A and B are shown apart, each in its own frame.
Chain A
Amino acid sequence: MSDFRPLAEGVGEPRWLRRSLTALTVVFMAVFLLLPLANIFHAALSEGWRVFLASLQDENAAAAIRLSLVSTAAAVLISGVFGLAAAWLLGRHRIPGHGLWVAILDLPFAISPVVAGLMFVLLCGQDGWLGPWFDRHGIQIIFAKPGIVLATAFVTFPFVARELLPLVQALGPESEEAALLLGASPLQTFWRVTLPALKWGLIYGVILCASRAMGEFGAVSVVSGHIRGETMTLPLHIEATYNEYQFGAAFACASLLSLMALVSLALKSFVAWRARRDRELA
Chain B
Amino acid sequence: MSIEVRNLTKRLGGKTILDRVNLEIPEGSLMALLGPSGSGKTTLLRVIAGLESPDEGDVLVRGESNTVRRPQDRHVGFVFQHYALFPHMSVRQNVAFGLDVKPRALRPSKEVIRARVDELLELIQMDSYGSRLPAELSGGQRQRVALARALAVEPKVLLLDEPFGALDAQVRAELRQWLRRLHDVSKVTTVLVTHDQEEAMEVADTVAVMNRARVEQVGHPRDIYDHPATAFVARFVGQMNQLHQVADGTAFARPHEMELSLDASEGEAAQVVKLVSMGPLARLRLRLPSGLELDAHLTRERLAQLQITEGTHLFVRPGKVSIFADDYSI
A-side residues, CB < 8 A to B, are: 174-175, 177-185, 188, 192-193, 196-197, 199, 281-282
Interface contact A184-B97, CB-CB below 8 Å: yes
Docked complex Cα distance between A182 and B70 (Å):
12
Interface contact A174-B82, CB-CB below 8 Å: yes
Cβ-neighbour of B88 out of A177, A182, A197 (below 8 A) = A197
Interface contact A182-B97, CB-CB below 8 Å: yes
- Whether A281 contacts B133 in the complex (CB less than 8 A), given A184-B72, A185-B72, A197-B88, comes out as yes
Docked complex Cα distance between A174 and B81 (Å):
10
Cβ-neighbour of B78 out of A177, A192, A196, A199 (below 8 A) = A177
Q: Distance in Å from the Cβ of A273 to the closest Cβ of chain B?
A: 17
Interface contact B86-A179, CB-CB below 8 Å: yes
Q: Distance in Å from the Cβ of B98 to the closest Cβ of chain A?
A: 4
- With a cutoff of 8 Å between Cβ atoms, the chain B residues found around residue A192 in the complex are 86, 97, 101
Of all chain A residues, which has the CB nearest B152?
A182
Of all chain A residues, which has the CB nearest B75?
A183
Interface contact B76-A181, CB-CB below 8 Å: yes
- Whether A178 contacts B84 in the complex (CB less than 8 A), given A183-B102, A188-B101, comes out as yes
Instruction: Please name 8 pairs of A and B residues whose Cβ atoms are closer than 8 Å in the assembled complex, sorted by A.
Output: A174-B80, A175-B84, A175-B87, A177-B80, A178-B80, A178-B149, A181-B77, A182-B72
- Whether A175 contacts B86 in the complex (CB less than 8 A), given A184-B72, A185-B72, comes out as yes
Cβ-neighbour of B86 out of A177, A183, A193 (below 8 A) = A193
Docked complex Cα distance between A192 and B94 (Å):
11
Of all chain B residues, which has the CB nearest A178?
B84
A175, A181, A193, A281 pick with most chain B CB within 10 angstroms = A181
Docked complex Cα distance between A77 and B12 (Å):
39
Interface check B49, CB cutoff 8 A: yes
- With a cutoff of 8 Å between Cβ atoms, the chain B residues found around residue A188 in the complex are 101
Interface contact B49-A181, CB-CB below 8 Å: yes
- Whether A184 contacts B101 in the complex (CB less than 8 A), given A178-B78, A179-B86, A282-B87, comes out as yes
Q: Distance in Å from the Cβ of A95 to the closest Cβ of chain B?
A: 16
Interface contact B153-A183, CB-CB below 8 Å: yes
Interface check B51, CB cutoff 8 A: yes
Interface check B135, CB cutoff 8 A: yes
User: Given A181-B78, A182-B101, A184-B101, list of 9 further CB < 8 A pairs?
Assistant: A175-B86, A175-B87, A179-B97, A181-B49, A181-B77, A182-B149, A184-B98, A185-B72, A281-B133
Q: Distance in Å from the Cβ of A187 to the closest Cβ of chain B?
A: 10
- With a cutoff of 8 Å between Cβ atoms, the chain B residues found around residue A182 in the complex are 72, 97-98, 101, 149-150, 152-153
Docked complex Cα distance between A183 and B71 (Å):
8
